[in-house]
Structure 1
């Protein structure tokens, strides 16, 4: 008998069942094989009878890519989906829609993406009930942060409080989001799709093979150069890395990022194995690693440093400890934050599992090693088939141990000329040069924040754009830390760079930073912005970017005669017009 959900009319069902009754087992097997191998009939996609809004908020571009995927898959299910950035919609407009799919990332300490800030504030203050709205939320985040997926959680809860109908559970996606996103998408589209639409499944053998390099298939890029940029005597270690993209088909634009898939340092792997009382030869098996020797999995596949509530919760389940239980209590959030700051997974094992851990248990604590994104420091026009990076190698002491940044020291210590590094390009549409080459730009990029602006100025020079370029750069010392100094001087000489203001914090008793240089030049800076200049910031998100934002507010108050609220509104308008863009980390 055919199952009840088989896509046949009653008359067709009777005809098929009658025919099958007269077949023996051999004949049925032959028919099954024949039908399985027969070419699939072309299916005309049904006319969409359901409309939906796919709303995204993104910082680095992941949410936008997933929103686009959501819309494409929705179309196959008979859903006409419109994709919108949160920066392009008012919260009150949600009342005009009946179906809503939200894909949003969380940034920093539970903050919305830069371009979504205005919508988020409006929406969280919204009082209009939305009883006719069906919704589902996919939240992107990073479990290494305490407020994991907080923005998505907030939006999900707010929609529910306004009476909207949740059609599928919220997905909280870590940096390795593919599986969670796919599950969410399937559940959501099934709930929203018109019931009469039957979607044929494509046999696995007929699925198209990805032709480009990406996370699951990174490109092995040859290292062309690895140069220390700081002078002798510097307290910093900043490297310039040049990588080949020849033969990859990978492309990028100024403002994009390069994803680097690093490996963990041998000494860090050894310390973790010692703490867990393991040799590394033990065989383990996880989704992230497949079946392999533990040491190899720790080196190549797993995040063995990032200490988070998620990791500690799993550790407590595997090896209960009263002190760890107390630390994980909801009332001890500040103590947990204090404990995890400056510590890594090896410290937690030493502190709470001194007896060691079985190999499989250790592996199950760890998430997949995420790629690291670096702002690209080159123009593809100036350096065909190449991509350049500006990387600060992170090394420090904390709680009696030497620590190191996973990707930055991988590039500094292992990415020697002639070696290969696994990479792919990552689009960032939220950090783009003006379409009009005559438009002036102001760039603020201290330290490695200089990277995309090297690309910007190179690109405008190659295109012959006449728009003025003004750069604010800062670092510790002029003698040792003036990154790409000769290049900037050459750009000034030939007119490609119109203005350059620098702030070297350690060259005088009182520290000076880029935001102070902005205030010193506030009249000119305000005039440039009034004349249509685009303003860009790249670098540290926790302090520098906020200090630069505060300087802009002061400048608008001083020269525009505005209140603080009005100045903030002006900056929000610049963001909406894509004239104030940030690439911060």
Structure 2
């Protein structure tokens, strides 16, 4: 499927680049021709309606022909067009001179038969029509060229439809939403795709009808198949439906009788009629007319009348034709848009003008791709020239991070290599493709594991597709530094899976994978030693390591004090949830989304074993006057949890609590007023509450909270604050899932699915999503709901763009 998309992409841009400019010319001229009649009539108001002289009457076609023929003895009148509207000029067509394809046509005063002056502006529109239909080339050559261009437009339209087909084709927002929040290349693509989708049907109609007009073989085949071919029409004009064995004897034209018969047959139900007078051996007059209220401007009816007697021989009504015949007679009005009346003409005109938009955005996207490729080639050349030691090749350093630790270690590693004169390229794994990996012979992977063996959020799309990259990696030598936490069963799970996939694709390990538990200095030392051995790092590199270590060292624990403790859910079926208030240094500050690490005292059973610190989401702002946490009391077979038990029961008010503030870069709050969706459950309300309080403080009201608890009777500790925000217009929507309030279980992911359309609208409107709460139950369900609602590709893009942020535990 991927290779097929690449083929169609190449076809799409090639036709767009080669034919796009000429299609703009055809589109702009087509737009100008859409309102040709109205423009010419506006320029020539006197030719739209002729005032009758005193006592004058409208002349019949026979009288018009006789008078015009008398004033133009050298020209034979071939056809006459008259209108039922009083004062509308008639139109006389003369037979073409020898060697010419078309004869002259003139407007005629319907009261005096005097030839009227040529309308101003007609020469301009004749030029525009030749440019539109034949590109000013010889007629036969030009038709073939414009027909080919019409076929190119058809391929452009269909390939564009294929290339932007969404995973959820029935979601209209996926097709039609123009995202003005995008910038640069992303906005150009969005504009190109959305406007193309809106104009798709118009371009299909234009291209198919253009192919019909551009190729005589196509037109003849279509007309004959519909029973509307020229041969059949010529036979009718000669006096019969079948070709006569010998030419009929010439007849004398009696136009008054023909006109009288036409009136009798139509009973006045006509608005305009063209009388094609018989030539050569024809014995019939062909009267092509529109009804008084025609279906469209080409809904022609044809009446064949004997030229001598006026007797009707055949009457072809548009309404009586089979569907194929009606469609063939509607090709021109469909091409011009008049088939659908004035709205159709406006839409066709706008779509024709939009050709210029596609050419401009298409060229900008194309040139942008060229600039990107040129920059990539230049960067590769620079890296190739600047890599002195390790075989003249740059080393790829790829990182996957949730909190920023892996990225920091990647930059430290790059600094150590560069200190030794070795070029390095640092990239997040979300930017890696098979093509990128093909250009490196050595790669160092520094990856964190999140939760129970999962990759960090920004690396999830890469992790899903890495095993399907295609080409093997036997050219690649690699090393993996896996970061994890042994408290989780799947310690370093993502790093281990990555190492497995690399080996499966024939990559060669430079050294065994190094696993790091938290900030284990010994394991990091093993990593540095392995790099020094493989790349020959010396004293300068060691110096850069130590400098980086000093800059990256975690802050020390500081004494804070337990200021308050409040049970939030008395009587709840769930474990007790407490709001903990702590006071600390007056200069302490933090941002919404921050974490704290609390160092509880070691329980007696631990002996001399060190206690690992416990992390909590901060639930307050510095302006609240205290650092607040929401702590769920953890109960185990041997008693309360070490940290939660100490904070909720063991510590007395005023006791010292060793604590340090920790930045949480993957869960930071947006700086502007763009919409935000906050999703969580249980004690996860802590991280959401800090964000919401800051948004409220800033006056940003486009906030949507989706939150889950057990029962409204005992677990609705948050409702007063939410009610206040809603009353102030600073919480646009709140969906609360009380899982135990009804027989069936309802969770936050169920609320999301119930509001799928609005959720998609918010996301498409630029919303940033924050998820805070339990990793085991809530987070996977929310992920699955987003993937189903948006589509996996759109969900991956949301993550990759940093608009899906999680703080789950």
The Cα of 1:502 is off from its aligned counterpart by 0.8
Contact 2:572 2:715 in 1 (8 A): no
Aligned residue in 1 for 2:783: 549
Change (3 A) 1:440 1:72: same
Q: CA deviation at 1:572?
A: 0.8
Match of 1:151 among 494, 510, 516: 494
Shift in CA distance, 534/103, structure 1 to aligned 2, threshold 3 Å: same
C-alpha distance in 2 between matches for 1:177 and 1:429: 21
Structure 1 residues 251 and 187: alpha-carbon distance in aligned structure 2, compared to 1, 3 A threshold: farther
Give the alignment partner of residue 629 of structure 2, picking from 386, 389, 401. 389
What residue number does 2:617 align with?
A: 375
Relative to its length, the structure with more helix (as a share) is 2
Distance 1:198 1:546, change over 3 A: closer
**Residue 794 of structure 2: aligned partner:** 570
Q: 1:230 aligns with which of 559, 566, 569?
A: 569
Residue of structure 1 in register with 2:419 after alignment: 76
Shift of 1:154: 2.5
C-alpha displacement of 1:200: 8.0
Secondary structure in structure 2 of the residue aligned to 1:482? coil
**CA gap 1:236/1:123 in 2 versus in 1, 3 angstroms:** same
Gaps of 5+ in 2: 1-385
Q: CA deviation at 1:190?
A: 4.3
Partner secondary structure for residue 438 of structure 2: helix
What corresponds to 1:137 in structure 2?
A: 480
Match of residue 382 from structure 2: none
Q: Distance in 2 between matches of 1:371 and 1:116?
A: 26
User: 2 CA distance for matches of 1:574 and 1:469?
Assistant: 18
Give 3-state SS (helix, strand or coil) of 2:466's partner.
helix
Match of 2:683 in 1: 448
Once the 2 structures are TM-superposed, how far is the Cα of residue 440 of structure 1 from its aligned partner? 0.3
Q: Which residue in the other structure is 1:413 paired with?
A: 649
Which residue of the partner structure matches residue 558 of structure 2?
A: 219
Q: If the length of structure 2 is used for normalisation, what is the TM-score?
A: 0.48
Aligned match of 1:504: 738
Q: TM-score, normalised by structure 1?
A: 0.65
Change over 3 Å in CA distance of 1:207–1:583 after alignment to 2: closer
- For the pair 1:428 / 2:664, whether they are aligned, the reply is yes
Q: CA deviation at 1:201?
A: 6.4
Q: Does 1:462 align with 2:803?
A: no
Q: Deviations over 1:90-146 (max 9, x none)?
A: 354122223322111223443322221111222222342334433211112233444
Q: 1:155 to 1:92 in 2, by over 3 A?
A: farther
Higher RCO, 1 or 2 (CA under 8 Å, sep at least 6)?
1
Structure 1 position 431, deviation (Å): 1.7
- Measured after TM superposition, the shift of residue 49 of structure 1 is 4.1
Deviation at 1:574, TM superposition (A): 0.9
Which has the higher Rg, Structure 1 or Structure 2? 2
CA contact (8 A) 2:416 2:541 kept: no
Count of residue pairs brought into register by the alignment: 420
Instruction: Verify: 1:531 aligned to 2:765, yes or no.
Output: yes
Q: Report the Cα distance in structure 1 between the residues aligned to 2:415 and 2:548, rounded to whole angstroms.
A: 15
**Hey, what's the Cα distance between the residues in 2 that align with 1:577 and 1:506?**
36
- Looking at structure 2, the residues matched to 107 and 160 of structure 1 have their Cα atoms a distance apart, in angstroms, of 22
Note the alpha carbon deviations across 1:199-218, whole angstroms, 9 max, x for none.
286699x9899699836x32
Question: How well do the aligned residues superpose, as a CA RMSD in angstroms?
Answer: 3.1
Question: SS of the counterpart of 1:480?
Answer: coil
Relative distance call for 1:168 and 1:58 in structure 2 (3 A) is: same
Match of 2:583 in 1: 244
- Measure, in 2, the Cα distance between the counterparts of 1:448 and 1:177: 29
- How far apart in 1 are the matches of 2:705 and 2:516? 37
Work out whether 1:480 is the aligned partner of 2:714. yes
CA distance in 2, matches of 1:553, 1:158: 24
Task: Look up the match of 1:263.
Answer: 601
In the TM superposition, residue 513 of structure 1 has moved relative to its aligned partner by 1.6
Stretches of structure 1 lacking an aligned partner (at least 5 in a row): 1-46, 273-294, 302-368, 557-566
What does the per-residue CA deviation read over 1:17-54, in whole Å, with 9 as the maximum and x for residues that have no partner? Answer: xxxxxxxxxxxxxxxxxxxxxxxxxxxxxx97463332
Q: 1:421 to 1:92 in 2, by over 3 A?
A: farther
**Residues 484 and 491 in structure 2, CA contact (< 8 A), matched pair in contact too:** yes
Contact 2:449–2:484 at 8 Å: present in 1 too? yes
2:518 paired residue number: 175
